[in-house]
Structure 1
Amino acid sequence: MTKPQTIQIFLPFGNPQGTRVAEITTRTVRVFDIPRKLLPEFLNMPESSQVGLYFLFSEVDNEENISCYVGQSGEVGKRLQQHHQKKDFWHRAIVAVSLTNTITDTHAKYLEWASIKLGQASGRFQLENGNSGSKPHTPAPLEADCVEILETIRVLMSTLGYPVLEPLPSHTKEIQSTIYLCTARGANARGILSSEGFTVLKGSTCAMKPTAKATPQSIKTRRQKLIDSGVLIMSSDTLVFAKDHLFQSPSGASCSVIYRTSNGWRDWRTAEGVDLATSEEKNIIQSN
């Protein structure tokens, strides 16, 4: 359940595009958002020598191609230095530490395991870890601590723009969303609109072939990336969404579904045939 919270974001070096530090004012977890180029700045901070949980993210070049690696270390700055030397893919690091320096190695191992598991379940990013392995032995009091710590990390990472631990909107039972349909060019897709974008639901099918003039290379490239990442799979000669997938916009979703240029606000429709733009306009009017 969501609730109002106060989050403080601090710019330790004054650059809004540089290192950012986020925390919920009533909790003891601090999250650092560190550009790889500015890693030396973090290494000079006392927090770099603490036990920490970290996430490495690839450069965000498009919504279908973001990789993430989850790890933990008893000295998180030293581990990031090693990754700087040996891992090329990452562009930015998110590091979570304790304000009171009370996260132990046992906490960190559990947090790593749970984060990989949540990241795999959400499917928002391509995880570089493989499977999450077996649950590490964690005494009940420490596991209770970890649940609260992980919830704080989840909220802070989402606020900073890295919702790797967040379930997709369609997985959230509290959301009662209108189901929209896209059936042009033989497609049979279902999706929902949320504050994050547009989620095409598992089992939706796509148009198979591009059009002669209305399918630019950018849409073909996106389609291929969806196939390469396993979001789209062939099933009985039909291209199917193997899992729910979040697009940044309704048009990005409909272009991928019907395999041509598309205005998603018009091509996604309710079961009664009302287009997305009109349907959402009615919702706004009714809420006033």
Structure 2
Amino acid sequence: MTPFSLRIFVADGDPDGLRIVEKSNWIGKALVFPRALLPQVKARPELAQTGVYLLLGPRPDGEGEMLYVGEGDPIRPRLESHYAQKDFWTRAIGLTTATAGQLNKAHVQFLEARLIALARAAKRVPLDNANQPTEPSLSEADRADMEVFLAHMLGMLPLLGVHAFEQAPAVALPAAAPGQPAPTAPTLLYCRGKRVEATGYESTQGFVVRKGSQAVAEVVPSLESNKPARLAQREDLIERGVVELDGDAYRFTQDYVFSSPSVAAAFVLGMSSNGRTKWKDAQGRTLKALQEAELD
């Protein structure tokens, strides 16, 4: 991974207002703003350009966000239409170029299609997009340019609080041996319950539960009554195919990032759980004990 810097200009002096974001060695520019500011922000020249945009807002049936990905030639009329017709979104990110005319309709159709495909594959948030658009025909050179443009966008978006396109990080997972220095790669951890076993590890994105891990098929009644958001998340991941029923348990179809070890353990065990004590290494040491040992 290559280090980079972001320049964030707070255009009206309000940290929650319009922010203009530029990335080192990138021809692009992002405008980040709350929905309430669209009547003022729509006059910005950047929104008169061709580009892609993201609409984000709370899910109506559970914790977390949902996402809509779109493109516009230019962006402004599309945002005005969604301002009138889409209720869920509370903030928007418009992505175009610092100099007008560097993106055309085919370019942004390609970016839109790739972003939607990446979000569907990652399954981090539900999408408000009903269909998967077809990638337009681009020349070999244009396609290469757009892949570079996309890579810069994907590197920047997590710093703007957008994790919808991130796949679980691919890492080697050596198990830590007793008495040996901590490995540079994450330690493989286990969570075991009634006839289920899951493996996972901590990452910079959150806690990753690995493909093939199991989760109980039925949750305890207290989870349903006391943690409805956890139950809604479980139902959502089942619906989106992150887990599939395999015999009398669910099995993960992909590596999946949870926000914390406790959220991951609650999903696996079907009950509220302290992930710091439920996740253990091959020698039976808890995540809590491993973290305390690292500090010492």
Same fold (TM over 0.5): yes
Equivalent of residue 197 in structure 1, options 206, 211, 235: 206
Q: Which amino acid aligns with 1:135?
A: E
Letter in 2 for 1:160: L
Aligned length, in residue pairs: 283
Q: Which amino acid aligns with 1:74?
A: D
Q: 1:215 to 1:184 in 2, by over 3 A?
A: farther
Determine helix, strand or coil for the equivalent of 1:253: helix
Question: What SS does the corresponding residue of 1:38 show, helix, strand or coil?
Answer: helix
Q: In structure 2, what is the equivalent of residue 225 of structure 1? A: 236
The one-letter code matched in structure 1 to 2:256 is: H
User: Aligned partners of 1:33 and 1:140: how far apart in 2?
Assistant: 31
Q: Partner of 1:277 in structure 2?
A: 288
Match of 1:8 in 2: 7
User: Quick one: which of 233, 247, 250 aligns to 2:258?
Assistant: 247
In 1: Cα distance, 2:87 partner to 2:222 partner:
38
Matched to 1:45, the amino acid is: R
Question: Where do 1:143-154 residues align within 5 Å?
Answer: 143-154=143-154
TM-score normalised according to structure 1 size: 0.88
Deviation at 1:66, TM superposition (A): 2.5
Q: Which residue of structure 2 lines up, in the alignment, with residue 78 of structure 1?
A: 77
Corresponding position of 1:125 = 125
Distance between the aligned counterparts of 2:131 and 2:148, measured in 1? 23
Corresponding residue for 2:25? 26
Give, in angstroms, the shift of residue 53 of structure 1: 0.7
Q: Residue 106 of structure 1 contacts residue 138 of structure 1 at CA under 8 Å; is this kept in 2?
A: yes
In structure 2, the partner of 1:37 is: 36
Output the CA distance in 2 between the equivalents of 1:214 and 1:112: 38
Query: Identity percentage over the alignment?
Result: 30
Pairwise CA distance, 1:56: 1.4
Of 259, 270, 281, the residue aligned with 1:259 is 270
Q: 1:267 to 1:27 in 2, by over 3 A?
A: same
What residue number does 2:156 align with? 156
Q: Does 1:135 align with 2:146?
A: no
The 1:63–1:195 alpha-carbon spacing in structure 2 relative to 1, beyond 3 Å, is: farther
Contact 2:54 2:69 in 1 (8 A): yes
Change over 3 Å in CA distance of 1:61–1:157 after alignment to 2 = farther
TM-score (norm 2): 0.86
Over residues 67-122 of structure 1, what are the superposed CA-to-partner deviations in whole Å (9 max), with x where a residue is unaligned?
21211111101111111122222222111010011111121111112212222222
Structure 1 unpaired stretches of 5+: none
8 Å CA contact 2:16–2:33 kept in 1: the answer is: no
CA offset at residue 158 of structure 1? 1.3
Q: C-alpha separation between the residues in 2 aligned to 1:250 and 1:148?
A: 34
| SS of residue matched to 1:188 | strand
Q: Deviations over 1:228-260 (max 9, x none)?
A: 443333222222233332111111111121122
Alignment of 1:113 with 2:113, yes or no, is: yes
Q: In structure 1, the residue corresponding to 2:54 is in which secondary structure?
A: strand
How far the C-alpha of 1:206 sits from its partner, in A, is 1.7
Provide the C-alpha distance between the structure 1 equivalents of 2:223 and 2:103, rounded to a whole number of angstroms: 54
Could you tell me how far 1:214 is from its partner in structure 2? 7.2
Structure 2 contact 27–98 (Cα < 8 Å) conserved: yes
One-letter code aligned to 2:103: I
Q: CA RMSD in A?
A: 2.5
Q: Is the 8 A contact 1:63 1:248 kept in 2?
A: no
Note if contact 1:215-1:259 (Cα within 8 Å) is conserved in structure 2.
Answer: no
Partners of 2:163 and 2:222 in 1: how far apart?
36
Q: 1:50 aligned to 2:54? A: no
Determine whether 1:185 maps to 2:184: no
